[in-house]
Amino acid sequence: MTRADGVPALAADRVGKRYRHVWGLRDCTFAVPAGSVVGLVGPNGAGKTTLLAMTVGLLAPTEGHVSVFGETARAHTASTLARVSYLAQDHPLYRGFTVAEMLHLGRSMNPSWDQALAQSRVEALGIPLHRKVKSLSGGQQAQVSLTMALAKRAPLLALDEPVASLDPIARLDFMRDVLAASADTGLTVIIASHVISELERLCDWLLVLNGGRLQLGGAVDDLLSGHALLTVPRHTPDAQLPGKTISRMDSDRHSTVLLAVDPARLAAALSCQPGWQAEPVGFEQLVLAYLRRPPLGVPTANHALADGASHAGKAVTS
């Protein structure tokens, strides 16, 4: 597998997945550079699991294609499977197996398996190798699953709700392990989660899904600098603002607008509008604002991407 500079670790090109009559994911396009830690955020049914399952070839897209390190992810091929370590939601394991047997399974099904890593990680976590999976706590099961995904030693690690069943301490440790693996080996990680505050600490890339559409995607720094909280006199129409309104709260005299805006344009606008005040936007605030908007793809919805450019209509007609 090549990891030449500039080849995205994970890219989606107009990806869609239809389940019978319903689109679970539609018109999803992005490219994530290698070495990123990507947060994938969205409510239940937003298409997060669908997207992650497509990276490892568990699902095939109905339209478009997903590529991992420049090669199209194809369902049922060993090369696609070898490029991605996948931790499924609810961390499925064989309940009757012992922990050692789960690791044996990993070893016999993955040529690149790192048994030393798997064993030392499980032992460090204090999980007895001879215990049956069904007798472990939910958190321990999640740790065994993560261990299996890490020991597969694939260059992309896709985690679907990995911390949902962990207590707060275990969550922190878990996230720390993921970050350490990413830093040590240049692993690219994509994590689907509801817990926005935890992603904030972890991620340098963000994908926000809602209603099967990509609402927002980009490097976290770019996204934060490309948005601002602007306080303007009330009744200032959206059309007068220098960017795209993502959310707006009106109080008695002022309106607070979360704006997708180019920093230079914002600075220019501020210099000639003395009544306006701009503040940087927080990670969680930004994510929530995009999640609260009606999902794109509903015909009346605004369509704004991180750079503030208007793509209105494109998503609707595709």
Partner 1 sequence: MIWVTWRQHRTQAIVCVGLFCLIAVFAVVTGAWMRSTFNADGLGTCLARTGGAGCPALISSFVRKFTGPVMMPVTIMLFAVPGFLGAAVGGPLLGQELERGTWRLAWSQTVPRTKWLVTQLTLVTGGLVVFGAAVTAVMTWSRAPLDQLSIRLQPPPFNFEGLSLTCSLLCAFGLGVLAGLLLRNTIGAMAAAYFAWEVPFLLVTLLTGPLNILSATERIPCRDGCAGASTNSVPPVTGHLGDLVLNVTRSGNELVVSYLPDSRFWTLQLIAGGLFLAIAAAALGTAVWLLHRRTT
Residues of this chain that interact with partner 1 (CB under 8 A) are 53, 56, 58-60, 75-78, 81-82, 84, 86, 88, 90, 92-97, 101, 104-106, 108-112, 145, 148, 152
Could you give the C-alpha distances from 84 to 88, 149, 228, 261, 314, in angstroms and in order?
A: 12, 9, 36, 35, 31
Beta strands in 105-193 (DSSP E): 156-160, 188-193
Q: Pick the closer one to partner 1 by CB: 104 or 254.
A: 104
Residue with tokens 């993921």: 178
Q: Which is nearer to partner 1, 109 or 309 (CB)?
A: 109
Which residue number, 68 or 223, has a Cβ lying nearer to partner 1?
68
**In whole angstroms, how close is the CB of 150 to partner 1 at the nearest point?**
14
What are the Cα distances from residue 276, in Å, to 231, 240, 249, 308?
Answer: 6, 12, 15, 19
Least separation, in Å, of the C-beta of 103 and partner 1?
Answer: 12
Rounded CA separation 110/289 (Å): 42
Question: What is the spatial distance between Cα 170 and Cα 250, in angstroms, rounded to a whole number?
Answer: 41
> Judged by CB, which is closer to partner 1: 77, or 115?
77
- Of 104, 112, 162, the closest CA to residue 129 belongs to 104
Coil vs helix vs strand at 232: strand
C-beta of 90 vs 307, nearer to partner 1: 90
Write down the least CB distance from residue 115 to partner 1, Å: 14
Distance CA 131, CA 121 (A): 15
**CB 225, min distance to partner 1, A:** 36
- Per DSSP bridges, beta strands 63-68 and 10-19 are antiparallel
Q: Phi and psi dihedrals of 226, rounded to 5?
A: -90, 5
Chain-centroid distance of CA 228 in Å reads 22
Q: How far is the CB of 38 from partner 1 (least distance, A)?
A: 18
Asked if 16 contacts 61 with a C-beta cutoff of 8 angstroms, the reply is yes
By beta-carbon proximity to partner 1, the closer residue of 108 and 317 is 108
Please give the structure tokens belonging to residue 74. 């194809």
- In the chain, what is the straight-line distance between the N-terminal and C-terminal CA atoms, in Å? 33
Paired residues of 258 in beta bridges? 229, 247
Q: Between 84 and 261, name the residue whose CB sits nearer to partner 1.
A: 84
What span, in angstroms and rounded, lies between the C-alpha atoms of 6 and 29? Answer: 17
By beta-carbon proximity to partner 1, the closer residue of 93 and 99 is: 93
